[in-house]
Structure formats: C-alpha cells, structure tokens
Amino acid sequence: MRIVKLNAIDSTNRYLKELSGTKAIDDYTVVAAKNQTEGKGQRGTVWSSQASKNLTCSVFKDLSGFKFEHPFYISIATALALLKTLEYIEIPRLSIKWPNDILSADKKICGVLIENVIKQNSIAASIIGIGLNVNQVIFENLPKASSLKLISGKAYDLDELTITFINNLKYYFILLEDEKYEELKTEYEIHLFRKNKPSTFKNAEGDMFSGFIKGVSESGHLQVLLEDNILKAFDLKEITLLY
C-alpha cells in the first residue's frame, strides 16, 4: 500500500479526491495528516482533532470491478474493518452506531465519512475518511467522546494502526467483491448499537419518539420497531438516536 503523509491539510478526503481526479491512483492509497484543519463528519459536522494525536486519514478504494447494488455495503465493510482493528488491540465493549460511528462503552471513538466517485452512472471508487481518536485525552465540550488511550491507558503507534486497518479493510472488501452480502450485513447487525433495546429518537422536525432498533435495510436505512408493532425504515436525514 502507498501511504502519503502530510503535516497539515484542510481535509484528507478533499485532497485524495482532487488527486484521484488528476491521475491514476493505486488501490488502497492512504493519505494521512498530522493536522487536519477542516475534517468533516456525517450530516456536515466538523471533526475536531489535536495535531499528531489521532489517526486522520483517507483511503482510496477502486470499485470498478464491483457489481453491488447498494452502496451502503461500503459503509458496512469499513465499520467492520475498524471494529476488527480495535478488537485486535483489545479495546472493550465495541459497537457500531448507525451508520458507521464506532463506540466503546457508549463513547464515540471513531467517525467515518465516505464519498463515492461516480462515473457513467456507477460507483468507480470510494474515498473513505477515518477519524479515530487515539492518543488525545482532552475533549472539551464533547462529553460523549473518548480515545483509545483514555480507554486502555496505553499510547498507540499511528502507523501500526493504519496498516492493521488497511489489512482488515482489504479482508472485508474481498467478502464484498465475492458478494457475501448476507454475511456482512449479519456481522454488522450483531454489533449494532442499542439493537433490540428501548431507545429514544428525534425526527427531522425535532419531535421525540421511542422505538427498538431491529437492524438495517440493504439500502442502509435504520429499521425501527415503533408502537403498534410497526416496523419503519429511516434514512440519515430523518432520524437521530439520542443516547
């Protein structure tokens, strides 16, 4: 794998996207930054990270040979690769908060932003952005954030984590290439945060309601069991899990 290391950049996703638009890039090329000044998360949120403390990187994944109908499997493969990486270093009580945040003991330790490159009406590649809290120990005004060091008391080598993650990402993309959709979805749902537990949600209008997370659809919608035994699917813009 090729790893491009930058001291500072506004966004590794943006850098890698622009780079891939100007020349051919090897599969699994990684752009990692010591300091990312404008990191983005889901729903347009800002990912704040102390310089040189965390793993802030983006991965180029060539998808020209893939035939899947549902892009959400890219998110599933990425989340499972992160989970496997963290299990390897014995981070406890891991779960996936839909769609692809990684939690430990209900605290967020990793966020993912996937941006697909579309050519001729199909996904040609994905830019997979990762923000993993590693050695940072202070998170001002972020009570639900944590890091690997806060959880384990250990400091971690960012390069080693990157290589382990990429190897795991390759493993899950091989399953995806082999069309092991049911296997991937089942493993994802096993680790889904608050699955089958009474939970509170907020809709796009700001109204709160209760339900039970039952799983995800192939298109990536969250399936929630509501009152009167109604199973309803929500997309990312329609629902927020309160926890």
Give the pLDDT of residue 50.
84
Contact 159, 5 (CB under 8 A): no
Stretch (H or E) spanning 242: strand 239-242
Three-class secondary structure of residue 98 per DSSP = coil
CA distances for 153 relative to 52, 85, 104, angstroms? 18, 17, 14
The single-letter code of the amino acid at 10 is D
CATH number of the domain located at residue range(s) 198-242 in this protein:
2.30.30.100
Q: What is the pLDDT of residue 44?
A: 53
The pLDDT tens digits for 109-158 are 999 999 999 888 889 999 999 999 999 999 988 999 999 999 999 999 99
Residue 177 pLDDT grade (very low, low, confident, very high; cuts 50, 70, 90) = very high
Residue 243: the pLDDT is 87
What pLDDT is attached to residue 210? 97
Beta-strand runs (E) in 10-120: 29-36, 55-62, 94-97, 101-104, 107-119
What pLDDT is recorded for position 39? Answer: 60
More confident site: 222 or 66:
222
Q: Check residue 37 and give its pLDDT.
A: 79
Quote the pLDDT of residue 69: 85
What backbone phi and psi angles, to 5 degrees, belong to 43?
A: 60, 20
Closest CA to 225 of 240, 210, 239: 210
Could you tell me the residue ranges of all domains in the chain? 3-190, 198-242
pLDDT tens for each residue of 216-242: 999 999 999 999 899 999 999 999 999
Q: Tell me: the pLDDT tens digits for 49-62?
A: 788 899 999 999 99
Tell me the CATH number for domain 3-190.
3.30.930.10
Name the amino acid, one letter, at 25.
I
Which letter does DSSP use for residue 135 in this model? S
What are the structure tokens assigned to 150, written together? 């806060």
More confident residue, 45 or 142: 142
Mean pLDDT score across all residues of the chain: 93
Q: In terms of Cα–Cα distance, which of 187, 158, 162 is closest to 85?
A: 162
Q: How many CA atoms lie within 13 A of 25 on its CB side?
A: 28
- What proportion of the chain, given as a percentage, has pLDDT over 70? 95
